[in-house]
Amino acid sequence: MAPRSFWKGYLKLSLVTCPVAMLPATTEGEKVRFHTLNRATGHRVESRYVDAVTGKPVAEDNEVKGYQTGADDYVMLEDDELEDVALESTRTIDIDTFVERDSIAWIYQDKPHYLVPNEPVGEEAYSVIRDAMAATGMVGISRLVLYRRERAVMLEPRDSGIVLWTLRYGDEVRDDKDYFAGIRTAKPDTALMGMIKKVIAQRTADWDPGMVKDPIQDQLLQLIRSKKKPKRAKAGTAAVSSAAERPGNVVNLFDALKKSLQSERTSAPRGGPKRS
At 53, which helix (H) or strand (E)? Answer: none
| Helix, strand, coil tally for the chain in percent (to 5) | 30, 25, 45
**Rounded Cα–Cα distance for residues 243 and 240 (Å):** 9
Is 3.40.190.290 the CATH number for 7-27+85-167? no
Distances in Å between the Cα of 54 and the Cα atoms of 71, 155, 175 are: 18, 49, 43
Task: Give the pLDDT confidence score for residue 86 in this predicted structure.
Answer: 56
Give the SS3 label for residue 158: strand
For the chain, the structural domain boundaries read 7-27+85-167
**Rounded Cα–Cα distance for residues 31 and 220 (Å):** 10
Task: Give the pLDDT confidence score for residue 125 in this predicted structure.
Answer: 93
- pLDDT tens digits in sequence order for the chain, 276 residues long: 556 778 899 999 988 899 999 998 887 776 778 888 888 998 899 888 999 889 898 988 888 888 888 888 888 888 777 666 655 557 899 998 999 999 999 999 999 999 999 988 889 999 999 999 999 999 999 998 887 778 899 999 999 999 999 999 888 899 888 888 888 888 888 888 898 899 889 889 998 888 777 777 777 777 777 777 565 555 554 444 444 444 444 446 667 667 777 776 766 555 554 544
Question: CA-based Rg of the chain, rounded to a whole angstrom?
Answer: 27
Task: Give the pLDDT confidence score for residue 130 in this predicted structure.
Answer: 95
Give 125's contacts (C-beta < 8 A, 6+ positions apart).
Answer: 11, 16, 17, 18
pTM greater than 0.75: no
What single-letter amino acid sits at 187?
Answer: K
**Which DSSP category does 271 fall into?**
S
Task: Give the pLDDT confidence score for residue 269 in this predicted structure.
Answer: 55
Give 265's contacts (C-beta < 8 A, 6+ positions apart).
Answer: 202
**Rounded Cα–Cα distance for residues 123 and 179 (Å):** 46
Task: Give the pLDDT confidence score for residue 211 in this predicted structure.
Answer: 79
Task: Give the pLDDT confidence score for residue 164 in this predicted structure.
Answer: 96
